Structure 1
Amino acid sequence: MVGFGQSAGGAGGAGITTATLRDLAPHGASILDRHRLMLVTKGHGTHEVDFEVYQCRPGTLVWARPGQLVRPGGQPGLDATLLCWTPGPWPAAPDPGSVDGAAGGGAVTVPELPDGGPTHRQLAGEDEDAVINEVSQLVVDCERGLSPELLRQQLATLLLRVRLLGPQSTQAPPPVAGAQPPEGLWPAGEVEAFDRFRDELERGYARTRRVEDYADRLGCCVRTLTRASLAATGRSAKQVIDDRVTLEAKRLLAGTDLPVAEIGRRLGFPEPTNFGRFFQREAGQSPGAFRAEAAGGEAPGPPATEAVAGGWAGVPAPRPPLDPVTGYVQA
């Protein structure tokens, strides 16, 4: 059985944690505080990310980001390898010329990690072989305690490969910041406008839901944001804003035990009744009803930072300094 708990972090390392899960059992919803890439190695089951349930079997890749809500659906016999890493800049490399190994002040050697990439992908053929090989090598090298720079470069290479996989052939490509849409689909100005709008929305959705405020901050008109949003998502700018607030409300209702009134205040609703009306309109049910349905009889889980591993599968047997109880490998 596998549960979620706090990891024993190693400050100053590569910032990467790996683990292999056995019998990934169903678990309460948790809000991530770091990136988590899961590669299924055995069995069949489900894994939920932000209320979207994904079918899992060998070769399934699920990439969840910080702030997203996850809920393992489990089913006994489902095994997977996890890679976890924290967002933001990583520590600078130690200066080889320093007596105490202090960080150097020269050029930054940590690669810039790509943010984009599919949330869910069923690998096959050469793509599957390449990803499995890179994940397995990264796990082994973490276990061996190799250079943090090497591990970071390996992770960056793996994530770039995953990002370039794109969506499943049955899915419409989601808009990715900085990516160009198929020729003739969006005017270039609308791509840039929506990217900027989305970035500003991430910073301000808890403060304002007015399209006019975002237009003012971006130095454009409401019509421009609406046109860009319609081109990118098929929904107006106002709908995109309300969708983002509703998603965050769902995450907090399902993944925490915060009072409904406090969740409303965090999302810019001083009056609980206003939050209740907003959520009812957008989600089709009251906050309390949604929380009860999402809980399914389970209390919200803690922030999902790591998994306790019951053993290794698909990689060499663990050697010291791997913890034989938890199965953590911390670099």
Structure 2
Amino acid sequence: MMVSSRQTGRAEVSAPPAGAPIPLYDFQPPVGTPYGLEVTTIEDFFANHDAWPWSPPHPCRATFHYLIHVTSGVLHHDVDHITRTVTQGQWLWVRPGHTLCFHPPGTARGPFILFEPTVLRAETVRLLAPVTSHDAPAVLTPHPDDAHWAERTALQLLDEHRALGRRPLDLHHALRRSLLEALLLRLAHSPSATTLPPAAPDRRATVYRRFLDALELHFREQHRVDDYARLLGCSVRTLTRAAQDATGTGARQVIDERRLLEARRLLGPARWTARAVAAHLVFPDAADFGRFFRNHTGLTPAAYAARADQQESSSSPGH
């Protein structure tokens, strides 16, 4: 595990050994930052913490949320082994537990907010539940009616964070938390950003949330839509419509994407063989898994693993 000093921005970073699990990073704000919430800017964060886990970049996971708003330039960031491009006006929201990998910030500028899950109140967590699932979008493009408001709120949050000592500590934190919760709720439920459109019927939204819960428990061994319909006590037609309302695709595509995500995680940083992944995800054999993976990615499992190795080697010291 990396040993770091967030005060100096210096760290000793080494590549994880082959086959090692993806390292997990805890929230480590600068000394004196209260209550599990840090607010800074992209440029300041990278300047002050230039060896956090991006120098050289390696996949990792975090126990906390972070939210980045790009006000100018372009930001590239890997979430679950897929490179996301965040352009001016967009937001990147990475939830705890996802596999992530930083790229150099380049020209990107804007607010950078990091916070532990316990910062949010229970009612806020409940209202955010539809957009904190494993397949919630990482890149958000809020509706124009919300975009300007969200940017102003993020800048107010940054100003309040920097004003530590101006007010009593409990009031200071209450203001920061209120601004953060308002920002998250507005972003999460902006019509063009939410995973579950506001117009979706409540019953279908509930079915879809229950489907995601069941999928997370059973994606290894349950691969058919009717398997999940039976688990949920609904018809295949109801489940299909719920998935279409929520994602624009069918339930089968949601199942396949979850299996594919796990396959990428295991073939990439975890260095599993295609045969081991096939057995873990309960494919009949490695050949059947190979066809599934190639049909969805355009690459064989071996080619994907080789590309992941090459990317890691090129980012290691001395390259």
Decide: shared fold, TM above 0.5: yes
Aligned to 1:30: 60
What is the match of residue 55 of structure 1?
A: 86
- 1:46 is paired with a residue whose SS is strand
Letter in 1 for 2:35: A
Query: How many residues were matched structurally?
Result: 271
Q: What is the identity, as a one-letter code, of the residue corresponding to 1:280?
A: R
Label 1:163 to 1:266 Cα distance change in 2 as closer, same or farther (>3 A): farther
Asked if the contact 1:134/1:158 (under 8 Å) is kept, the reply is yes
Q: How does 1:1-331 map to 2 (within 5 A)?
A: 6-7=25-26, 14-16=35-37, 20-22=44-46, 27-40=57-70, 44-50=74-80, 51-56=82-87, 60-76=90-106, 78=108, 82-87=112-117, 112-113=124-125, 114-115=128-129, 116=131, 119-121=138-140, 125-138=148-161, 141=164, 146-147=169-170, 151=173, 154-155=176-177, 157-165=179-187, 172-176=192-196, 180-181=198-199, 186-269=200-283, 271-298=285-312
CA distance in 2 between partners of 1:53 and 1:159 (Å): 24
Conserved? CA contact 1:30–1:69, under 8 Å: yes
Taking the aligned partners of 2:301 and 2:36, their CA distance within structure 1 comes to 37
Aligned 8 A contact 2:153 2:179 in 1: no
Q: Which runs of 5+ in 2 are unaligned?
A: 1-8, 14-22
**Partner deviation per Cα, 1:92-146 (whole Å, 9 max, x = no partner):** xxxxxxxxxxxxxxxxx7664334386334686443122121134246549x994
1:40 CA displacement: 4.7
Partner AA of 1:137 in structure 2 = E
* TM-score (norm: length of structure 1): 0.63
Preserved contact between residue 21 and residue 80 of structure 1 (Cα < 8 Å): no
Cα 1:290/1:168, change in 2 over 3 Å: farther
Once the two structures are superposed, residues 147-171 of structure 1 have per-residue CA deviations (whole angstroms, 9 ceiling, x without a partner) of 4x964773464143233135888xx
Q: In structure 1, how many angstroms separate the alpha carbons of the residues matched to 2:308 and 2:98?
A: 15
TM-score of the pair, normalised by structure 2: 0.65
| Cα offset, 1:17, TM superposition | 5.1
Instruction: State the AA in 2 paired with 1:194.
Output: Y
Distance 1:42 1:187 in 2: 37
**For the residues of structure 1 that align with 2:211 and 2:69, how far apart are their CA atoms?**
32
Structure 2 CA distance for aligned equivalents of residues 127 and 138 of structure 1: 16
Bigger relative CO (Cα 8 Å, ≥ 6 apart): 1
- Which structure 1 residue ranges, 5 or more long, are not aligned? 92-108, 302-331
* 2:311 partner SS: coil
SS of equivalent residue, structure 1 residue 297: helix
Change (3 A) 1:145 1:210: farther
Amino acid of the structure 2 residue aligned with 1:128: E
Quick one: structure 1 residues 198 and 128, their matched pair in 2 at CA, closer, same or farther if it must change by over 3 Å?
same
Checking the alignment, whether the CA contact within 8 Å between 1:265 and 1:271 is kept in structure 2 is yes
Supply the AA of the counterpart residue of 2:157.
Answer: E
- Secondary structure, in 3 states, of the residue corresponding to 2:183? helix
- CA separation of 1:252 and 1:174: change in aligned 2, threshold 3 A: farther
Cα deviation, 1:167-193, whole Å, max 9, x if unaligned, reads: 888xx55433xx632xxxx45433332
The 3-state SS of whatever aligns with 2:299 is: coil
User: 2-side partners of 1:218 and 1:270: how far apart?
Assistant: 25
1:32–1:66 Cα contact (<8 Å) kept: yes
Asked if the contact 1:260/1:287 (under 8 Å) is kept, the reply is yes
Alpha-carbon distance change, 220 to 43 in structure 1, aligned in 2, over 3 angstroms: closer
1:175 maps to amino acid: T
- Do the aligned partners of residues 138 and 45 (structure 1) sit closer, same or farther apart at CA in structure 2, a change above 3 Å counting? same
Change (3 A) 1:64 1:90: closer
Q: Distance between the aligned counterparts of 2:180 and 2:119, measured in 1?
A: 17
After TM superposition, give the deviation of residue 241 of structure 1 in Å.
0.7
Do the aligned residues in 2 keep the contact of 1:230 with 1:237 (CA within 8 Å)?
A: yes
